[in-house]
Amino acid sequence: MCGIIGCTGVKNASAVLYKGLLDLEYRGYDSAGMAVLCDGGIVTVKKKGRVCALSAAAEELRGTSGIGHTRWATHGIPSDENAHPHTAGKFSVVHNGIIENYAELKEELVSQGCSFSSHTDSEVVVHLLNRCYSGDFKDAVLHTVRRLRGSFALCILCADSDGFAAVKYRNPIIVGKGGGALFAASDMPALSGLAESVAVLKDGQIAFASHGEMDLCDFSGEAQALTFSPVPAAVRAAGLCGFPHYMIKEINEIPAAVKNTVHAFLEERCFERVTRAAKKRGFGNIFLCGCGTAYHAALAAAYSAEELLGIPARAETAGEFRGRKSAVGRSTLFVAVSQSGETADTVEAARTAKQRGAYVLAVTNVPYSALTSVADCVVPVRAGTEVCVAATKSYCGQVAALSLVVSALKGRAECRRTLSELQEVCSKCASAISGFSAEAAARACASSSGVYFIGRGIDYPVALEGSLKLKEVSYVPGEGYPSGELKHGTLALIDGGTLAVAVMTDIRSGEKTASAVEQIYSRGGRVAVICSPGCAPRGIAERAEFYAELPECGGMLSPIISVIPLQLIAYRTAVMLGRDPDKPRNLAKSVTVE
């Protein structure tokens, strides 16, 4: 959720923090703030709104150490008071996560005379630190973290100590060093251009950064080793590169994302690892879990897996899986899908499945994430850094990775065939991007009271994803439906003010989706059609509000291509309506709380 950053040993901490917060803003942008060590004290500025609201105040801060925060609100409305950092006595704290026992801690602290100025769960941390402090910074941190329950990544300043502490428990934090300075951040992009090398903290670790040295210990205070590696090239290369928004830049990077994911599958010998596990376990069923876009990729894979493998394959949202006693056991392949690898519900679902005996396979875009530490096997997505909150290229990378997993389970010949088809898909993606004009469809969406995406079979997950993209970035309401379900209630919403987008890539189900289109026409609704050659029956194109034919695609790889027009429509609709497609209201890129 929230983005946090810390630095020490720099010339101008406020400038470093401000740049880092801009790079982390995709994690939350309800409010922002920073605290800097100045002349033996802590000076804090924080404001409701985006990071740019800090610009003028940040220029006046002077110091070589500091911490910063950009917020996605959980406890307490977006406001100056609820913005981080929170300060008490000699301490200032920024927090990403949830303190589950904050209510009982707050009651205890209030009874001891502490006065709270916010409605956040996070403020209890700084009051605990101040209460535990008797002159030893490390001791105060250790006593405090042992009392916290929930999930938390923290950066902490102490007025008596030159530097900061970084704490990790079930929320991500990365530390870095470069040019004699030391850093910490929620994600790698914030360290680009600052750190020369980085290390990923593990759960239950604390890094104390001061005087050019990074000392690591666990929550018991025992010293631990820390290994640094060079900053990945993909992170160093992140930027708009002339595009007006990250969303359209990342859509244009889909061919590279698919190509690089294929290369990663081969380089990391994923076929051998998947087939070795299948031989050892004898998988009798497959569960696939994810949230949002990742769930849609998982659902597409579930359709393909059942058809190709002939065993039960089921996709479920990660939050729902955790609350049910599903039939998961030793013969289950549990596939967890997450762009960030930090999605709390997905990580916990993977832990739950593993406890029940399942073999856990992670499909993620981030190799240093919490999900990879839980999984028995990781199949990487190599989409590169994705800054836009709405996932685009990572979805296509996930579908590619999942299709390779499914084909590997079928056997070497099937896997080779899928690898060959994915080479063609890369060029077809490029054609779909360059050959598609979304203006007419975007105008239709922008003028609609609701947009309903429909598809059948493997087109249904794509319909769900198209609807999600439009809602995320343009705020135009609507839903995604299986074509056959439209008549069971949703037709009541269809009139001249609504638009239906029909996705048809499977010739076997094209006629049935066309039947749903006819039902929409008969109620006065408008229809846009996205289809593969030969999938739309005669007469559909002539009456469509908008009609676009995709490069030929079919089977389990079709969602990679058919989603592209829907992403472009969502992007153009958002821009047309004056929305910021990169930072939709109320949303954040990495959902690290439950």
Instruction: Give the C-alpha separation, 10 to 228, whole Å.
Output: 19
Region for 11 from its dihedrals, namely left if φ exceeds 0, alpha if ψ lies in -120 to 50, beta otherwise:
alpha
pLDDT digits (tens, 9 = 90+) for 184-212: 999 888 998 899 999 999 999 999 999 99
Domain boundaries 3-236, corresponding CATH code:
3.60.20.10
Specify the DSSP class assigned to residue 121.
S
Q: What is the mean pLDDT of residues 75-92?
A: 94
- The topology under which CATH files domain 435-580 is Rossmann fold (3.40.50)
Q: Which residues are catalytic?
A: 2, 589
pLDDT of residue 188: 87
**With 60 as the cut, is the pLDDT of residue 236 above it?**
no
Name the one residue in this structure whose structure tokens are 């839980």: 374
Distance CA 166, CA 172 (A): 11
566 within 8 A of 395, measured Cβ to Cβ: no
> CA of 378: how far to CAs of 230, 264, 273, 366, 422, in Å?
21, 11, 9, 10, 20
- Which uninterrupted H or E stretch holds 565? helix 558-576
User: Residue length, the chain?
Assistant: 594
Residue 8 structure tokens: 């020490």
Encoding tokens for residue 473?
Answer: 């970035």
What stretches of 97-245 show up as alpha helix (H) in DSSP? 102-111, 123-132, 137-145, 233-236
Contact yes or no for 126/141 (Cβ under 8 A): no
The contacts of residue 324 (CB under 8 Å, 6+ apart) are none
Per CATH, 3-236 and 435-580 having the same topology is answered no
Q: What is the DSSP string of 411-440?
A: -HHHHHHHHHHHHHHHHHHHHHHHT---HH
What is the β-pairing status of strands 546-549 and 526-531? Answer: parallel
Whether pLDDT at 53 is above 80? yes
Distance (Å, whole) CA 235 – CA 218: 28
Tell me the average pLDDT of the chain. Answer: 93
Closest CA to 553 of 530, 570, 571: 530
**pLDDT tens for each residue of 337-379:** 999 999 999 999 999 999 999 999 999 999 889 999 999 999 9
CB contact set of 123 (below 8 Å; sequence gap of 6+): 86, 88, 106, 116, 117
| DSSP-based three-state secondary structure for 588 | coil
Q: Tokens 């890094």 — which residue?
A: 207
The candidate with the shortest Cα–Cα distance to 467, out of 436, 498, 497, 505, is 498
* Per-residue pLDDT band at 500 (split at 50, 70, 90): very high
Q: pLDDT at position 534, please?
A: 81
Cα 404–Cα 350–Cα 460 angle in degrees, nearest 5: 50
Nearest one of 254, 255, 250, 265 to 380, comparing CA atoms: 265
Confidence of residue 386 (pLDDT cuts 50, 70, 90): very high
CA distances from 282 to 279, 356, 374 (A): 5, 16, 21
243 has a pLDDT exceeding 70: yes
| Phi, psi dihedral angles at 21 (to 5 degrees) | -65, -35
A 10 A CB-CB count for 290 gives 29
Predicted local confidence at residue 537, as pLDDT: 73
Q: Which residue, among 3, 7, 14, 42, has the nearest Cα to 165 in the 3D structure?
A: 7
Question: How much is the average pLDDT of 219-236?
Answer: 85
Rounded to an integer, what distance in angstroms lies between the CA atom of residue 189 and that of residue 196? 12
Res 238 pLDDT > 70: no
For the chain, give the percent of residues with pLDDT over 90: 77
Which residue ranges make up each domain of the chain? 3-236, 239-434, 435-580
Mean pLDDT for the stretch of residues 142-158: 96
Residue 465's pLDDT is 98
Tens of pLDDT, residues 478-499? 999 998 888 788 888 888 899 9
In the prediction, which pLDDT does 237 show? 54
Query: Which of 58-62, 124-128, 402-406, 506-510 has the weakest average pLDDT?
Result: 506-510
DSSP secondary structure letters along 140-162: HHHHHHTT--EEEEEEEEETTSS
pLDDT at 12: 94
- Exposed e or buried b for every residue in 356-366, given b needs 16+ CB within 10 A? eebbbbbbbbb
Digit-coded pLDDT (tens) for 108-141: 999 999 999 999 999 999 999 999 999 999 999 9
pLDDT at 306: 95
3-class DSSP assignment, residue 348: helix
Predicted confidence band of residue 233 (pLDDT cuts 50, 70, 90): low
Rounded to an integer, the average pLDDT of 212-222 is 96
- How far is Cα 257 from Cα 394, in angstroms, rounded to an integer? 7
- Per-residue pLDDT, averaged over 50-66, amounts to 90
| Per-residue pLDDT, 592 | 61
Least confident residue range of 48-57, 243-252, 400-409, 459-468: 48-57
Any idea of the CA torsion for 9, 15, 19, 20, to the nearest 10 degrees?
40
Distance between CA atoms of residues 97 and 122, nearest Å: 9
Calpha distance 192→194 (Å, rounded): 5
User: What is the CATH T-level fold of the domain 239-434, as seen in this structure?
Assistant: Rossmann fold (3.40.50)
Which of left, alpha, beta for 539 (phi over 0: left; psi -120 to 50: alpha)? left
